Structures are given as C-alpha cells and as structure tokens.
Amino acid sequence: MNKTDALIIGAGPTGLFTAHQLKLIGLDCEIVDNLDKIGGQCIELYPDKPIYDIPAVPECTGEELTNNLINQIKPFDIKFHLSERVDEVKKEGDNWIVKTNNGKTFSTPNVIIAGGVGSFEPRKFPVKECEKFENKSVLYSIKDKSIFKDKTVTIFGGGDSALDWAVELSKNSQVNLVHRRDDFRGAQATVDKVNELAKDGKINLFTKYQISSVKGEYKLESLDIKNDDKEIKTLKTDYALGFFGLIMQLGPIANWGLNIDKKTIEVDTEKFETNQKGIYAVGDICSYPGKLKLILSGFHEGALAARACFKLARPNEKYRFEFTTSSKTIKDRLGVKSD
Amino acid sequence: MAKITYITHDNHNHTIEVQNGLSVMEGAVQNDIPGIDADCGGGMACATCHVYVKDEWFDKIPAKEDGEEDMLDMAFEPKKNSRLSCQIIVSDELNGLTVHIPSKQG
C-alpha cells in the first residue's frame, strides 16, 4: 500500500503542474497514468504540433511543453506509476483507497483527477466478433513476439507501428499487411522496406482493403477483407493485429460516484472539488460555468486544488501563502540557495 | 449561415442552422447532436468527429488538407466519402450539406 498526501491521476501538463504546486506547499504526491510515458495528450496526440497560447511561452510543441514541465518538477522526488490505469476509488475512514488494473493500491486523503478526456486505449477492429478472440488471437499490442514464430499474422494499419511490426515479423512469420489506402503514413524508410519485402514475397500486401469479418470456432481461423468495390478476399490467419492508434475512453471514472455530464466532471471553482469530499478534477476533464479547455486553465485549477488538499492532508496545520521569490521554505524545497 | 443536416446511424435527421466560420463538428457539438465526440476539440488529432459526406456534396466542399487522410486511417469504418467534421468550415455555399454520423467514433 502506497501512502501519499495526494494521488494525481493523469501525467499530462495539468497533472504535472499540479504535482509541482503540491510539492511547493510541502505535500507529497504520486502520479498514475495509463500511458507508458509522461505527457498525456501533448505527447500522444500532438508532440510535434506548435502551441501558441501558453503564457510567457510564445511557441512550443507538445513535446517541448512536456519536457519543460518535467524539468520544473525535477527538484522534487515524485513517483510516477506509468502503464497503470486506476480502476477503483473507494472511501475507507478519512482516506480514499485507490486500486489500479495491475493491483497497485494507494491510501490518500486527496485524489486529483487530471485525466483529460479519459485514459488512452487502443482503437479496436470495427467487427464485433473480434471481441471473442481478443487478447488471444486478436491483438492490439505485442508483448511477446515469439508467439508468432512460423505462424500466419495479418497486420492492419498504415502507421509506424503496423509497418515496423510487419517488417520485424516477416523474418519468422508469414505476414499479411492490410491497409485502407495505397499511401502509408509511416516513416519513408520503413515504407520503402515494406515495399521491398512485398516485392520479394516476404510480405503479402493488400491495400484499399479493410476487415469485414472473422471466422473461427475456438481460435481465429480466417478473416475476410473487403475493398471499396465490395470485393472480398479470405485470408487464412492465426493472428490479427490492429494498429489504429489510441482513443480516449472515460473508462472506470464513470463508476466512482461523481457527477458526470458529457464526459466531464462537475466541480466548484474554489477548490475544484467534485461532489465527493477529497476528490478533485482539474484540466480538460472538469466542468464549471465558463470552463475553457486550455492548458493554462488546467494550471490555475491545479494550483487551487493543491491548496485545498493541504487542509485534508495536514488537518492540524494552517496553510500560509508564500511567494517563490521570497520564501526561504520554498527555496529549500526547490533546493536553491536563498539570498 | 448554412442549413446542415446530420443523420445519425439510426436514421434520425437533425437539421440546424450553423454560423459561417464554425466547423461542421462545432455545429454538432453546440447543438447536442449525438455521435460526434470531438475528443481533441478540433485539432485534427483524434479522428472522433468522423462523418460520411453525402456523395453529391463530397466534391463541393474544400478538399482535405495534409494530415486529415492520415487521421482517417484511425477512424471507425472509414469510407471513400469520409471526412473529419472539424475540418469542414461552414459558409453560405454549404447550405444544404448533409452528413451521416457513423455508429461509433472508435
């Protein structure tokens, strides 16, 4: 059981700055995120796209913003729990007991949800029957590539994940690569490699095709692919791999007894607290009259939620507002010399 | 101003007037038309405002910019007439535009 003053759900810009604010006022915190990396939407959806409305930063990319925020919290020792999705939040006495999908548990008086639009999950095949084979012969990520040895693998997608795996698995497996159009959006070098392997018969390439059905009793046996002219091809296959990127799902948050409307959580604008005492929501996932889904709003919301956490984490102490420019205590926490 | 008709996957028609300059996605979201999620808020970064443009309209609306086709690779059941509705900006010329909303966004 991990004990902490505040648990932050979501390692996007809002979660990172909220952690900074908590540590600055002397509280400890830990951060959980379902992605395997820090940065949230900034790193997953637009790492290379420029952002122009961060105060005092005329222009930066999603990746640069993330790196700057990571630098800003470097003085503090903050524990990250990546690739962990929070599944359960339950009250026990004065604390919230938080459980992740991998069995980690936390006990904390404060839970700050900085979850954006929810957790990122792989996009799945549109064919419903695929669910039957999911995690067995229909996969959306690869943990152990040795299972594909000497098998037939049908890969769907046109980005780097699909192409990289097609190249890699073609060494030891029979690979079909299916994509909805002739153009691939992966790196040019990989596209060239795939085309070369296709020419040599190492990869069977099917462009302008999409999945239309799957067949199999206990395990996947074959699947049908269809093109725009409704021509159908049947491919015998042991595995189907889909690489269509990630999508955000609100997921288990919906079950925590919070007031949710249109995938956002209602909060007050003093503490950014939800209808549950000690659970706060900040950033894109919160809603209140006048809410703007801007990164700068998330920073403000996180700063206020952090102060609210103080009361529950240190019930016998009084929070005193201090400036970073003048406070010796804050400078000590930051590890910088006082004048 | 343009009248835009959104047809949901279960065949409900929603015809609304959308101001020039807004996107077809914003028209849907602001009028609570179901089925358009627009998770990224119009940044062409998520493919959850996917629509099918009625054939006679497909060539009349401004063509896709770079990147939209890449995002459509990730959309749920993309077709020849697929577009991201955040990338279609409303003008008088679009009066009468009809789009179909897919059964899911992902």
Phi, psi of A204 (to 5 degrees): -90, 115
Q: Which residues make up the CATH 3.50.50.60 domain(s) of chain A? A: 2-121+247-334, 124-244
Which pLDDT value is given to residue A339? 66
Is residue A83 over pLDDT 90? yes
Residues of B in contact with A45 (CB under 8 A): 40, 43, 45-46
Residues of A in contact with B47 (CB under 8 A): 245
Across the interface, whether the CB atoms of B105 and A247 are under 8 A apart is answered yes
How many other C-beta atoms are found inside a 10 Å radius of the C-beta of residue A89?
24
Using an 8 Å Cβ cutoff, are B50 and B84 in contact? yes
Is residue A100 over pLDDT 80? yes
* CATH code that applies to domain A2-121+247-334: 3.50.50.60
Task: Using alpha carbons only, give the angle A180, A185, B27 rounded to the nearest 5 degrees.
Answer: 75
Q: How far is Cα A7 from Cα A9, in angstroms, rounded to an integer?
A: 7
> Averaged over A262-271, what is the pLDDT?
94
Across the interface, whether the CB atoms of B40 and A157 are under 8 A apart is answered no
* CA distances, A172 to each of A145, A149, A165, A265, B93 (Å): 10, 5, 12, 48, 55
Across the interface, whether the CB atoms of A45 and B106 are under 8 A apart is answered no
**Interface size, chain A vs chain B, as Cβ–Cβ contacts under 8 Å:** 51
B28 lies within 8 A of chain A by CB = no
Phi, psi of A122 (to 5 degrees): -65, 145
Can you name the CATH fold of B2-100? Ubiquitin-like (UB roll) (3.10.20)
Is residue A338 over pLDDT 80? no
pLDDT, tens digit, 9 for 90 and up, residues A19-49: 999 999 999 999 999 999 999 999 988 888 8
Find the CB nearest A126 among B46, B47, B76.
Answer: B76
Residues of B in contact with A264 (CB under 8 A): none
Which pLDDT value is given to residue B106? 81
Find the CB nearest B70 among A123, A185, A210.
Answer: A185
Using an 8 Å Cβ cutoff, are A182 and A208 in contact? yes
pLDDT, tens digit, 9 for 90 and up, residues B34-65: 999 998 889 898 899 999 999 999 999 999 98
Please give the structure tokens belonging to residue A67. Answer: 């790196």
How many other C-beta atoms are found inside a 10 Å radius of the C-beta of residue A160?
15
How many other C-beta atoms are found inside a 10 Å radius of the C-beta of residue A97?
16
Residues of A in contact with B106 (CB under 8 A): 123-124, 247
pLDDT, tens digit, 9 for 90 and up, residues A136-194: 999 999 989 999 999 999 999 999 999 999 999 999 999 999 999 999 999 999 999 99
DSSP H or E segment with residue A21: helix A13-24
- Higher model confidence: residue A261 or residue A184? A184
Ramachandran class of A16: left when φ > 0, alpha when ψ lies in -120 to 50, beta otherwise: alpha
Which pLDDT value is given to residue A119? 86
Across the interface, whether the CB atoms of A210 and B80 are under 8 A apart is answered no
- Say which range, A3-17, A197-211, B30-44, has the weakest mean pLDDT: B30-44
Q: Which residues pair with A152 in a beta bridge?
A: A174
Question: Which is nearest to A112 in space by CA: A278, A277, A280?
Answer: A280
Please give the structure tokens belonging to residue A207. Answer: 């462009």
DSSP letter assigned to residue A317: S
Pairing of strands A138-139, A239-242: parallel
Which pLDDT value is given to residue A337? 83
Binning pLDDT at 50, 70 and 90, where does residue A263 land?
Answer: confident
Q: How close, in Å, is residue A308 to chain B by CA atoms?
A: 29
* CA distances, A304 to each of A110, A222, A232, A292, A296 (Å): 13, 55, 57, 16, 13
Can you name the CATH fold of A124-244? FAD/NAD(P)-binding domain (3.50.50)
> Averaged over A64-84, what is the pLDDT?
97
Binning pLDDT at 50, 70 and 90, where does residue A228 land?
Answer: confident
Across the interface, whether the CB atoms of B78 and A247 are under 8 A apart is answered no
pLDDT, tens digit, 9 for 90 and up, residues A101-126: 999 999 999 999 999 988 888 999 99
* Helix/strand/coil (H/E/C) assignment for every residue in chain B: CEEEEEECCCCCEEEEEECCCCEHHHHHHHCCCCCCCCCCCCCCCCCCCEEEECHHHHCCCCCCCCCHHHHHCCCCCCCCCEEEHHHCECCHHHCCCEEECCCCCC
Q: Looking up tokens 């159009």, which residue turns up?
A: A181
Please give the structure tokens belonging to residue A129. Answer: 């029957």
Q: How far is Cα B52 from Cα B98, in angstroms, rounded to an integer?
A: 9
Residues contacting residue A149 through CB under 8 Å, at least 6 positions apart: A172, A173
Helix, strand or coil, per DSSP, at residue A79: strand
Burial pattern A249-264, b for ≥16 Cβ within 10 A else e, equals bbbbbeebebebeebb
Q: How far is Cα A227 from Cα A51, in angstroms, rounded to an integer?
A: 38
Across the interface, whether the CB atoms of B45 and A179 are under 8 A apart is answered no
Find the CB nearest A185 among B47, B73, B105.
Answer: B73
A308 CB-contact burial (10 Å; exposed 0-12 / middle 13-18 / buried 19+): buried
B74 lies within 8 A of chain A by CB = yes
Percent of chain A with pLDDT over 70: 100
Helix intervals (H) in A116-184:
160-169
Find the CB nearest A46 among B45, B48, B104.
Answer: B45
Using an 8 Å Cβ cutoff, are A278 and A257 in contact? no
> Averaged over A83-90, what is the pLDDT?
96
Is residue B22 over pLDDT 80? yes
Task: Compare all CA atoms of chain A with the CA of B80 and give the residue at the minimum distance.
Answer: A228
Q: How far is Cα B101 from Cα B37, in angstroms, rounded to an integer?
A: 11
How many other C-beta atoms are found inside a 10 Å radius of the C-beta of residue B58?
14
Using an 8 Å Cβ cutoff, are A178 and A211 in contact? yes
Q: How far is Cα B13 from Cα A99, in angstroms, rounded to an integer?
A: 43
Per domain, the residue ranges of chain B are 2-100
Supply the mean pLDDT for chain A: 95
Binning pLDDT at 50, 70 and 90, where does residue A251 land?
Answer: confident
Q: Residues for chain B: how many in total?
A: 106
Percent of chain B with pLDDT over 70: 100
- Which of A43, A121, A248 is the best substitution to test chain B (most B C-beta atoms within 10 A)? A248
Percent of chain A with pLDDT over 90: 91
B45 lies within 8 A of chain A by CB = yes
Percent of chain B with pLDDT over 90: 89
Q: How close, in Å, is residue A67 to chain B by CA atoms?
A: 20
Across the interface, whether the CB atoms of B106 and A293 are under 8 A apart is answered no
Interface of A with B (CB under 8 A): 41, 45-46, 49, 117, 123-124, 126, 157-159, 179-181, 183, 185, 210, 228, 244-245, 247-248, 293
